[in-house]
Amino acid sequence: MKKLIFGGLCASALVLAACSQTDTAQTPTAEAVQQALGSGIELQNFDSSIRPQDDFYGYVNGTWLKSAEIPSDRTTTGAFYDLREKAQSDVKAIIEELAATEGLEAGSDEQKVADLYRSMMDTDTIEQRGVTPLKAEFDAIAAIDSKDDVAAYFAHSQVIGGGTPFAFYVNVDAKDSSRYATHIWQYGLSLPDRDYYFNEAERFAKIRDGFVAHIQTMFELAGLDNPEASAKAVMAIETAMAEHHWTRVQSRDSEARYNKYAVADLSELADGFNWTRYLETLGVADQGDIIINQPSYVEGFNEVFKATSLEDWKTYLTWQILTHYAGQLSADLDAENFDFFARQLNGQEEQKARWKRGVDKVNGDLGEVVGKVYVKRHFTPEAKARMSELVENLRRAYGESIDDLEWMSPETKVKAKEKLAAFTPKIGYPDRWQDYSTLQVKADDLVGNSMRAATWKHQQDVAKLNGPIQKWEWHMTPQTVNAYYNPTMNEIVFPAAILQPPFFNMEAEDAVNYGGIGAVIGHEMGHGFDDQGARYDGDGNLTNWWTESDLKAFQERGSKLVKQYAAYQVFDDLNVNGKLTLGENIGDLSGATIAYRAYQMALDGKAGPVIDGLSSDERFFIGFTQIWRAKYKEEALRNRVATDPHSPSQFRANGPLANMPEFYETYNVQPTDAMYIAPEDRVKIW
């Protein structure tokens, strides 16, 4: 789930003014305090020329959309992205304090953060070394003399952070949540999606031509042999593998992806591939089984593997190492890598400032080290307590909503509420932090640092096998502006950095907080009950807890939502992919619906205050909509529609509201209005 900023500077000032009253001042009522704190609504962004009944997103954000400019080092701007910039600046301050400190103890967390950042910022050393940091890998690839060695190198490349046709990972076994299992996911393509290799539209043909030219240029800049022939060979291999890739819609299907094989039977999928060498190199040869997410891809890959010459596989492996590390090499390779993947594919005009890339590097490799300091500086115990209260209010509202569902039988309601009760909320930061003591970091070895960090992460994952489930683990750092639901843990997770305005404003009144962070909480809970999350029980096991008739009714409602979103037009020639975005759309609809219910419960039958001339219901819907304001480069938005399971921002706002009767009542939406959906066609799932 992606989310979104800003809120109440004047609200802070009002609070300070209220606190300066004399001791004899009368204690204000709760309602008066709410009004004094302000609404948290960004009124300056409104466009009164747009009717809220026709385009609520445009009505709330229209003036901003007309004037906002996308920074040259980004492909998108908006509330979420601005908040991410703030978090990046906050982390920069932490890192630069450490990087400016002399005499840090060798091996300490502080030394590692400082030296990792220094290694990214030391462009003189990076420039001097050129492609030399990859020479050992190029030599190892050149020495490969059999396809069995290729299989082993696939695993080695995975361990050090390179690219391979498979993505190996360790995760909870979806049908036995008491154990970790090994998994394989299809991988190995450089372009964003399989369709980029086959779509005959001019835009895609141009991208393919640009990609081949890019590979050739990269080989030339790296001083590698036969650049033109190498580029053609890489493109041929990737195209052949892409032909067997599952579509993103197919790969959403949790049941279809669960295919557990005995390791001894892997040759039935790929008889030309040396699984023993591959698994031994990964360090998991002792595992008896492995889950293959897309088995027909592995079967198809087997044919490609056998049909492709040894020399061409060596060329492909060389490319994968080069492209995965290009951004950490000399300026010419870095610039060429940026030009294709950022400028040509996504429309980004300029590379990020070096310091931003340095912060991203530290966040990626040592995120929880700086996360500890970030939390101390930017997240209060009061915010965590208030957030915990909101989560429980949303949980209660979700439970009452389940009770009221007319389409669900009592039997399934019991199971649904059992799962709801079992949700584990994680708020702000981990109770237990990652231990980086075995990771070595050097100030003058950027590529080496990256390879060691990737190897450390792989070893951490392998060490989980045959051990207890690490329920304390987080999959985002506290400084990440995002949130997530994890089905095999049945947990909802809200990092500290998203708990800021306009999502969560300690100084604003309840309507906007319920419309913002309340909808985020409801969204993540909604993932536990979306078309895929609803296949998991409260213990995190992939199992059917539905009656046959209830499951059919649930799927019918999902199909209606698919149809709705598939009708949303992004460009004249491009609509939202309703099937790809179904899970996120259910999350958005559930989030808004349950958050509204929770807010009404919080009012306890009383009328909410009128602030800025807006009723409490109006402020709820505005609070929900303003978090989604965003503006995209066309190239980036087209790529998102093809690959991102989230709908574009406009539809994440308007789509849920167009299904909510309360929105119709608040704004008197009529059949002649653009957002109107006939009552029988509106979707209510949860």
Give the pLDDT confidence of 196-244 residue by residue, as tens digits: 999 999 999 999 999 999 999 999 999 999 999 999 999 999 999 999 9
**pLDDT of residue 325 exceeding 80:** yes
pLDDT in tens, 420-435: 999 999 999 999 999 9
pLDDT of residue 24: 28
In a domain, 604, yes or no: yes
Cβ–Cβ under 8 Å, residues 596 and 572: no
Residues 537 and 672 in one domain: yes
Find the mean pLDDT for residues 638-659: 97
Confidence tier at 95 by pLDDT (50, 70, 90): very high
- Taking only the tens place, the pLDDT of each residue in 244-260 is 999 999 999 999 999 99
Q: Which residues have a Cβ under 8 Å from the Cβ of 467 and sit 6 or more positions away?
A: 180
Helix axes 295-307, 227-242, angle to 10 degrees: 150
In a domain, 677, yes or no: yes
649 and 562 belong to one structural domain: yes
CATH of the domain at 230: 1.10.1380.10
Q: Tell me the angle at which helices 147-160 and 446-464 cross, rounded to the nearest 10 degrees.
A: 100
Reported confidence tier of residue 514, pLDDT bands at 50, 70, 90: very high
Average pLDDT over residues 467-473: 97
Specify if 292 maps to a domain.
Answer: yes
Question: Is residue 504's pLDDT more than 80?
Answer: yes
Residue 171 falls within a domain, yes or no? yes
Burial class (CB in 10 A: 0-12, 13-18, 19+), 672: exposed
Q: Quick check: 11 pLDDT over 80?
A: no
pLDDT of residue 39: 72
CA distance 58 to 625: 9
Average pLDDT, the chain: 93
Q: Kindly tell me if the per-residue pLDDT of 276 is higher than 50.
A: yes
pLDDT of 328 strictly over 80: yes
Q: What are the tokens at 603?
A: 């009012």
Q: What is the mean pLDDT of residues 106-132?
A: 97
511-546 CB burial, b ≥16 within 10 A, e <16: bbbbbbbbbbbbbbbbbbbbbbbbbbbbebbbeebb
CB atoms within 10 A of CB 145: 10
Written as six digits, the tokens of 43 are: 């009124």
Decide if 657 contacts 591 (C-beta within 8 A): no
The alpha helices in 545-610, defined as continuous H runs, are: 548-566, 582-603
In a shared domain, residues 256 and 402:
no
Long-range CB contacts for residues 448-455, cutoff 8 Å, separation at least 24: 448/133, 449/115, 449/116, 449/119, 449/365, 450/161, 450/325, 450/328, 450/361, 450/365, 451/160, 451/161, 453/161, 453/364, 453/365, 453/366, 454/159, 454/160, 454/161, 455/159, 455/160
Task: Provide the pLDDT for residue 363.
Answer: 98
User: Looking at per-residue confidence, does 1 or 272 come out higher?
Assistant: 272
Domain final residue pick, 293, 328, 363: 328
Would residue 148 count as lying in a domain? Answer: yes
Q: Is residue 17 part of a domain?
A: no
Predicted pLDDT at 134: 98
CATH number at residue 643: 3.40.390.10
pLDDT for residue 509? 84
**Amino acid letter, residue 344:** Q
User: What per-residue confidence (pLDDT) applies to 311?
Assistant: 98
What is the residue range of 567's domain? 34-68+390-423+507-681
Note whether residue 192 is domain-resident: yes
Please indicate, yes or no, whether residues 189 and 302 belong to a single structural domain of this protein: yes
In this model, does residue 160 exceed pLDDT 70?
Answer: yes
pTM of the model: 0.92
Kind and range of the H or E run holding 405: none
Quick one: pLDDT at residue 169? 98
- pLDDT, tens digit (0-9, with 9 covering 90-100), for 44-54: 999 999 999 99
User: What percent of the chain stands above pLDDT 90?
Assistant: 92
Percent of the chain with pLDDT over 70: 94
Domain count, the chain: 2
Sign of CA dihedral 453, 457, 462, 468: positive
- Give the dihedral of Cα atoms 627, 632, 636, 641; nearest 10 deg: 60
Residues constituting the chain: 686
Tokens of 416: 């649904």
Q: Do residues 525 and 660 share a domain?
A: yes
What does the pLDDT read at residue 612? 87
pLDDT for 22 beyond 90: no
- More confident: 6 or 272: 272
If asked whether residues 144 and 232 sit together in one domain, one would say: yes
**In terms of domains, do 135 and 57 share one?**
no
Q: Are 277 and 148 in contact (CB under 8 A)?
A: yes
pLDDT grade for 38, boundaries at 50, 70 and 90: low
In whole angstroms, what is the distance from residue 153 CA to residue 143 CA? 11
Final residue in a domain of this structure, among 289, 307, 328: 328
Strand 484-486, strand 491-495: pairing = antiparallel
Task: Please compute the mean of the pLDDT values over residues 398-416 and round it to a whole number.
Answer: 97
Looking up tokens 């790809």, which residue turns up? 580
> Using one digit for the tens of pLDDT, what is the confidence trace for 483-494?
999 999 999 999
Boundary of a domain, candidates 328, 349, 367: 328
Q: Which single residue is written with the structure tokens 């004094």? A: 36
Residues 179 and 308 in one domain: yes
Asked if residue 431 belongs to a domain, the reply is no
Q: Looking at the structure, tell me whether residues 397 and 292 fall in a common domain.
A: no
**Domain check: are 270 and 406 in the same one?**
no
Domain check: are 225 and 315 in the same one? yes
Burial class (CB in 10 A: 0-12, 13-18, 19+), 573: exposed
| 634 in the same domain as 549 | yes
For the cut 70, the answer to whether the pLDDT of residue 637 exceeds it is: yes
617 burial type by CB count under 10 A (0-12 exposed, 13-18 middle, 19+ buried): buried
Question: What's the pLDDT band for 508 if we cut at 50, 70, 90?
Answer: confident
